[in-house]
């Protein structure tokens, strides 16, 4: 998308880096004096001013008002993230901290991702987001039918993430135990390994192949499957939303309101995360800055996201959400590392 970024000369790079870095840590517009002092440059403020004016003209910096210090634009952050920042690898302590958080009893993928959102919030001090493995990559490991009362039964599906989906379905006719177990066996034979969200279509397409007894079973099974509510939308865990209140950019109620509005619409949140990791199909995480989100009202925020994998396939994503002014060099490393942890744990869980 930003393929041939106009090249900046070394001095411009140094100064852009300094401005972004300084602004990220202090949240104050950065003046020329500050740049030379805090970064020990062998230049005078006047020279820096000239360069800063150039950077502004090229769209990397911006003044909040005439004759104030400079602040990075989206483009400035982008250049910083892509070319300037030195990714700050985790310390051994941080690594151990993260691994420690996963030593708790985690029964299924949902537990793992809930814990992940918690962990991300805690360690990054931003809002932590974790999407549960998406329905299209969940496959059936086992199906069970379980009578609950005369006219109702529970359909239970354990998927390859250890999660149990359960649905109560109304039966038209009472099924005796034998019939039920026959049906159950049939479903397991036919549908093991099939993706959860196209059970019915799979069975349907095989319908012609069956004869007699099998066909009757299949038709009966289809009735049941069709009664199932459509698989729930992408589940997403969010934690640490209130941490955002500590950032000065959210002192403004109306901005805060926008973000919290997003947090209540879980679907949008999932979309955001997916489009973030979707844009770059790579294993590494992605950073999406401000207007790049293409979300009205969320121009002030950034998202750092990273996909996690099972059997080499990306099946979901995790990340953090916070103000544009984020310590990217630290957070990208944390999010990436956490994503690999999630992958590893899910693999163990799926074994």
Partner DNA sequence: GTTAGCACTCCCTAATCGTGAGTGCTAAAT
Partner DNA sequence: ATTTAGCACTCACGATTAGGGAGTGCTAAC
Specify the DSSP class assigned to residue 283.
S
The answer to the question of residue 164 lying near a second copy (CB under 8 A) is yes
Partner touching 88 among a second copy, DNA, none, CB below 5 to 8 Å by kind: none
Binding a second copy (rule: CB under 8 A), the pick from 260, 327, 329, 333 is 260
Strand residues in 219-340 grouped as ranges (E): 236-239, 286-289, 301-310, 313-323
Nearer to DNA, 47 or 204 (CB): 47
Out of 256, 280, 283, 291, name the contact with a second copy by CB under 8 A: 256
Q: How far is the CB of 107 from a second copy (least distance, A)?
A: 5
Stretch that binds a second copy, among 18-26, 48-56, 76-84, 161-169 (CB under 8 A): 161-169
The DSSP secondary-structure symbol of 160 reads: T
Q: 125: which DSSP letter?
A: S
Angle between the N-to-C axes of helices 199-206 and 212-227, in degrees from 0 to 180, rounded to the nearest 10: 160
Q: Which stretches of the chain bind DNA, using CB under 7 A?
A: 28-34, 42-47, 49-50, 52-53, 56, 63-70
192 close to 159: Cβ distance less than 8 angstroms: no
Cα Rg of the chain (Å, integer): 26
Q: Tell me the Ramachandran region of residue 193: left when phi exceeds 0, alpha when psi lies from -120 to 50, beta otherwise.
A: left
**Binding range to a second copy, per CB under 8 A, among 4-12, 62-70, 151-159, 286-294:** 151-159
**Cβ proximity of 269 and 236 under 8 Å:** yes
Nearer to DNA, 45 or 278 (CB): 45
CB within 8 A of 274, min separation 6: which ones?
Answer: 131, 234, 317
Q: Which does 245 bind (CB under 5 to 8 A by kind): DNA, a second copy, none?
A: a second copy
144 scored as a contact of a second copy (CB under 8 A) = yes
Contacts with a second copy, residue ranges (CB under 8 A): 105, 107-108, 141-142, 144, 146-149, 154, 156, 158, 162, 164, 166-168, 229, 239-242, 245, 250-251, 253, 256-257, 260-261, 263-264, 351
């Amino acid at each position: 998308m930003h393929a041939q970024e106009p090249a900046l000369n070394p001095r411009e790079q140094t100064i852009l880096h300094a401005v972004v870095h300084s602004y990220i840590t202090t949240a104050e517009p950065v003046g020329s004096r500050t740049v030379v002092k805090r970064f020990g440059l062998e230049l005078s403020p006047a020279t820096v001013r000239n360069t800063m004016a150039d950077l502004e003209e090229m769209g990397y910096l911006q003044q909040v008002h005439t004759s104030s210090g400079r602040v990075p634009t989206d483009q400035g952050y982008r250049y910083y993230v892509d070319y300037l920042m030195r990714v700050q690898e985790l310390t051994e302590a941080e690594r151990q901290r993260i691994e420690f958080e996963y030593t708790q009893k985690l029964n299924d993928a949902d537990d793992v991702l809930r814990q992940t959102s918690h962990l991300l919030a805690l360690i990054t001090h931003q809002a932590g987001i974790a999407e549960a493995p998406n329905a299209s990559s969940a496959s059936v490991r086992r199906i069970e039918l379980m009578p609950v009362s005369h006219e109702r039964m529970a359909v239970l599906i354990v998927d390859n993430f250890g999660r149990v989906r359960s649905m109560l379905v109304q039966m038209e006719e009472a099924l005796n135990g034998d019939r039920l177990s026959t049906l159950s066996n049939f479903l397991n034979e036919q549908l093991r390994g099939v993706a959860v969200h196209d059970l019915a279509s799979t069975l349907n397409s095989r319908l012609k192949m069956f004869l007699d007894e099998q066909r009757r079973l299949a038709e009966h099974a289809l009735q049941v499957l069709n009664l199932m509510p459509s698989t729930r939308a992408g589940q997403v865990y969010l934690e640490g939303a209130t941490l955002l209140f500590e950032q000065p950019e959210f002192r403004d109620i109306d901005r805060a309101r926008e973000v919290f509005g997003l947090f209540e619409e879980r679907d949008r949140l999932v979309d955001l995360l997916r489009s973030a990791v979707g844009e770059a199909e790579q294993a590494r995480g992605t950073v999406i800055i401000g207007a790049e989100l293409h979300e009205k009202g969320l121009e002030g925020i950034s998202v750092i996201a990273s996909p996690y994998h099972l059997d080499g396939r990306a099946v979901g994503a995790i990340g953090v959400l916070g103000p544009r002014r984020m310590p990217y060099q630290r957070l990208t490393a944390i999010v990436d590392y956490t994503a690999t942890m999630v992958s590893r744990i899910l693999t163990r869980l799926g074994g």
